[in-house]
């Protein structure tokens, strides 16, 4: 059981402490963005960087070092105290954009799908995937995280 004023929670649950758009600049000089969600968990602070379908710049994968640096600046924390996680889910492949178009314009999903870039269309129905990011000597390294690990940390997977 956590202490009364502890930011951490019981196993399998997490408390979200931040959810915002995170702007970063890739090594190619182009701006990009992702969604930054931060949770207090039983293992400590977990920061999840989610790729967004509408990101016009470098992906969170291709600019992981820059995204982590931007998150550190935003959060004002020590990088070694955070578990950094890369996430690709529905909002990464255009499902959120399709749902928004269907709702806002009253169009059919097939019509909205045409607005999604071809390379992302086939991935819309993929399950979410996660990778732990570790920055060592200025370079990102990834370690696949099974969905069950996210359930253990957060209480559920993110879509």
Q: Is 138 exposed, middle or buried (0-12, 13-18, 19+ CB in 10 A)?
A: exposed
> Is residue 100 in some structural domain?
no
> Is residue 69 in some structural domain?
yes
Q: Which residues contact 4 (CB under 8 A, 6 or more apart)?
A: none
What is the residue range of 137's domain?
15-89+126-154
> Is residue 56 in some structural domain?
yes
Q: Across residues 122-148, what is the average pLDDT? A: 86
> Is residue 26 in some structural domain?
yes
Q: How many domains does the chain have?
A: 1
Give 107 or 139, the one with higher predicted confidence. Answer: 139
> Is residue 115 in some structural domain?
no
As separate numbers, helices (DSSP H) first and strands (DSSP E) second, the chain gives 5, 6
Q: For 87-114, what is each residue's pLDDT tens digit? A: 998 888 766 555 655 565 566 666 655 6
Please state, in angstroms and rounded to a whole number, the distance separating the CA atoms of residues 42 and 82.
12
């Amino acid at each position: 059981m956590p202490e009364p004023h502890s930011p951490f929670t019981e196993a399998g649950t997490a408390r979200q402490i931040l959810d915002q758009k995170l702007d970063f600049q890739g090594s190619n000089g182009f701006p990009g963005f992702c969604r930054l969600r931060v949770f207090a968990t039983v293992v400590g602070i977990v920061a999840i960087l989610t790729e967004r379908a509408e990101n016009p710049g470098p992906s969170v994968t291709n600019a992981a070092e820059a995204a982590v640096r931007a998150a550190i600046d935003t959060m004002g924390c020590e990088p070694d105290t955070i578990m950094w996680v890369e996430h690709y889910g529905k909002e990464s492949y255009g499902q959120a954009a399709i749902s928004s178009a269907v709702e806002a314009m009253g169009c059919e999903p097939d019509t909205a799908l045409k607005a999604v870039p071809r390379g992302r269309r086939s991935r819309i129905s993929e399950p979410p995937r996660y990778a732990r990011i570790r920055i060592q000597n200025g370079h990102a390294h990834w370690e696949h995280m099974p969905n069950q690990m996210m359930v253990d940390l957060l209480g559920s997977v993110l879509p």
